[in-house]
Structure 1
Amino acid sequence: MSKGTLSTTTAKGAAVPAGYAGIHSGIVELLDAARQAAARSVNALMTASYWEIGRRIVEAEQQGKRRAGYGEQLIERLSSDLTGRFGRGFGVNNLENMRRFFLAYPRSVISQTLSGKLRNEVASEKSQAVSGKLSLSDLAHAFTLPWSAYVRLLSVKDDHARQFYEAEALRGGWSVRQLDRQIGSQFYERTALSKNKTAMLVKGAVPKPEDAVTPDDAIKDPYVLEFLDLKDEYSESDLEQALIHRLQDFLLELGEGFTFVGRQRRLRIDQTWYRVDLLFFHRRLRCLVIIDLKLGALTHADVGQMHLYCNYAKEHWTFHDENPPVGLILCADKGHALARYALEGLPSKVMAANYRTVLPDAELLQKELENTRRLLESHATIRPKTRKR
């Protein structure tokens, strides 16, 4: 080996060129920065588009204001047609958010914001754009926070409080998690009542470890996925992903009428996002089967959440000729497995009894869950040893 070409050897025996660590870390930083920039760009254009949609809805409502219920009919029709054309993201609630967004940030506010941002730029054309028709590119400059942050801000009824949270989020670079926590803890009211407001603002700007947003988090934001009409099949952990995959195959192999519908299916209730791990349709029962996996011990909150899922699915995912959905909670706590059906919401005890007869036995599911977890954990302990050979 000649001088200047020193290399090291990995556990697999492959030679690594000298200086590789620096090249690798530099590329990682480059890709992270690029993905963050891409997420910011998508969020800005998405927010600008939603503001413009809100403006058009409001102006259409004003033109038809003499007709009772015109606004509701307009949004419902738009929701149906846009969903059919563009997929997710255009439900009635989200269109209502766009309408409220425009009302909270009217053209006068946006023009003032843009004028301030472009004040130091030598761009007469941009100045004219601010005073005239606003393009999406112009609007994107006005919205610095992601759409999910503006959705959270819309829940703040008091205008002064909303402006305070927006200003602090911009000043402190708050993530949506941090913004949500500050609003939930009434940070505005506590700061207003504090004798040392400066100390409160400094303390409030300090993020917690769980507030950190990685490029992956930004890309996987549910609103971004909806806007780009991308599938959302992200799992919380490698173990959860492996368990879900094995259980999906297991249920299909049972041959009892299960038809796979989707994984990691998201749903939004008010401004909160939820995710169900597996969604099946049972041909014999003619109903959706919602499956949620918990890696910890089963709690009353998990049961209540499943009933929430079933109620949502009954209203939004179930066709008129189908039976009410049923929920299945699988608890994969280490050393203990539990399978529990949520049947209390069914219209009659007869239907619940029929469901129990047709659906796989809970003990069978628990046994499969235990076996799968043991198998996965044994593979996890064996794999590092094989790499050292």
Structure 2
Amino acid sequence: MRITEARVIVTCPGRNFVTLKIVTDEGVTGVGDATLNSRELAVAAYLTEHVVPLLIGRDPARIEDTWQYLYRGAYWRRGPVTMSAIAAVDTALWDIKGKVAGLPVYQLLGGRSRSGVTVYGHANASSIESVLAEISSYVDRGYQAIRVQTGIPGLESTYGVSAGAHYEPADAALPTENVWSTAHYLDHVPRVFARVREEFGPTLRLLHDVHHRLTPIEAARLGRSLEPYALTWIEDPVPAELQEGFRLIRQHTTTPLAVGEVFNTIWDCQELITSQLIDYIRTTVVHAGGITHLRRIFDLAALYHVRSGSHGATDLSPVCMAAALHVDLAIPNFGLQEYMRHTPATDEVFPHSYWFEDGYLHPGEEPGLGVDIDEEQAARHPYRPASLPVNRLQDGTMHNW
């Protein structure tokens, strides 16, 4: 069997997605997600100009060799564009291998380690009272874990708070601007979780995303203030470029820490894992080099009591979600899987076999990943420019978004 074609498909059924479809001379196809939110065309160009020509004529069964070829052969290694492109190829090859074997991909990864994948939903609203209603709706649907975000009094807009049912932060062709106040935030968040615990008791798993906005000592203060409410994690408390900052946070709070959705390789998280500075690693299939490399990261994490908590927002297509579920089902150190429902239009473009039931996602038993792209439907939704916002402090200083 040989690869005869690889198509890069860009579509926008409510938001932009980049998909690679690999075709073999025996008619077996595989799909991989290459979406990089607000930088989609950079990855599409990298695939079209630099990767696709290398794939033609290759044996699709040689997944590890192809991964090494694309990584080591690039010379300019790593980075989100390169690793998202490699991830698309790798994921598509695992899809093909599963179809050839007649098995779902999780069986090729060692089989089930659990009966279903525990997911968390996003409850977000402008106020505490309204977010309580959102949480209640998730509990009624069977969710056992919920991320909680609210508006902050005194600020016009806040990360993670949507205007509709489907949150999409890339909201304009050019970046919109948010205004941030750490003082307002640190004062407000403990009040939110005090009310949530009062209403829903001690056993519901609660999470919160800080979105890189604090310094280490500010994050330590937040973690300590949230200890009475027993969060499953606070996510991305500080920018992860200075990984020593997590050591400072660790010294001051027992609130668990999660990080990694912007990481691209095992080297980005090596120190955080081996020094046990985090509790959950949030790397995902599309941004961390595909199933092959993500499994390496999770295997390293397992040695140091670190569990998975993969990013799963709607900036990842159903192709990536399907791939993530196969990994989640197989690894021994699974923690949680983020799950945001896609729009109906997205589900039409990407028919899939995974489903949600009673707080769990199930990848299905179809050979391969159990997901595809309907290219006719995809063509009805052309690309449109969409940028993530930027963030400023109240005095106008640029800040982390």
Give the TM-score, by structure 1 length. 0.20
Which gives a bigger RCO, structure 1 or 2 (Cα 8 Å, sep 6+)?
Answer: 2
Determine which structure has the larger strand proportion and give its number.
2
The structure with the larger Rg is 1
